[in-house]
Each structure stands twice: as structure tokens, then as C-alpha cells.
Amino acid sequence: MHGRKKYIMKKANNKESADDLRPEYDLSKLRGGVRGKYAKRFQKGTNLVLLSPDVAKYFPDEQSVNAALRSLVGIAKAELRHTN
């Protein structure tokens, strides 16, 4: 390694890494989380999805999301039957 410069990796500055949180995350709402809260559901095959904030404002709970999706599935099935 004679004649070559050695490059040493430095640890990231904590101040820089703290700023990479997306603006839509409200840290005050992230406090007090429970680790593994949905782990059992996930293992059973439940699909967990993150709704965009503009969509989530119309769905206060999982039942309302499921009802809307079931309606959409019904419409899609009826359209398929109608076109065949």
C-alpha cells in the first residue's frame, strides 16, 4: 500500500442522520408504540398496508376500509360478468 492513501470510514454524524425522517411522520404520534403489536396477525396472513394520508382521512378504522374494498370488488365482479 505504499504510495496509496488510506481512506478510513467515519461514523455518520448523529445530527445528519436524525434529519432523514420523512416530513409526514409526526414523532409525537410515534411515542409509546408496542413492539410486535401486529406480529400474530401478520403470521396468520393478514395484509397490513399503509394508507396515504389523503386516503386515510376517509377511513377511521379497518372496518370502513374493508367495507369500501368489498364494495369495489363487487363492482369489479359485476363489470366482469357484464362484459363476458
Written as one string, the DSSP assignment of 6-61 is P--PPPPPHHHHGGGS-TT--HHHHTT--TTTTHHHHHTT----PPPHHHHTT-SS
The pLDDT assigned to 54 comes to: 94
pTM: 0.45
Residue 14 has a pLDDT of: 53
| Position 17 pLDDT exceeds 60 | no
78 three-state secondary structure:
helix
48-74 tens-digit pLDDT:
788 999 999 999 999 999 999 999 999
CA distance 30 to 58: 21
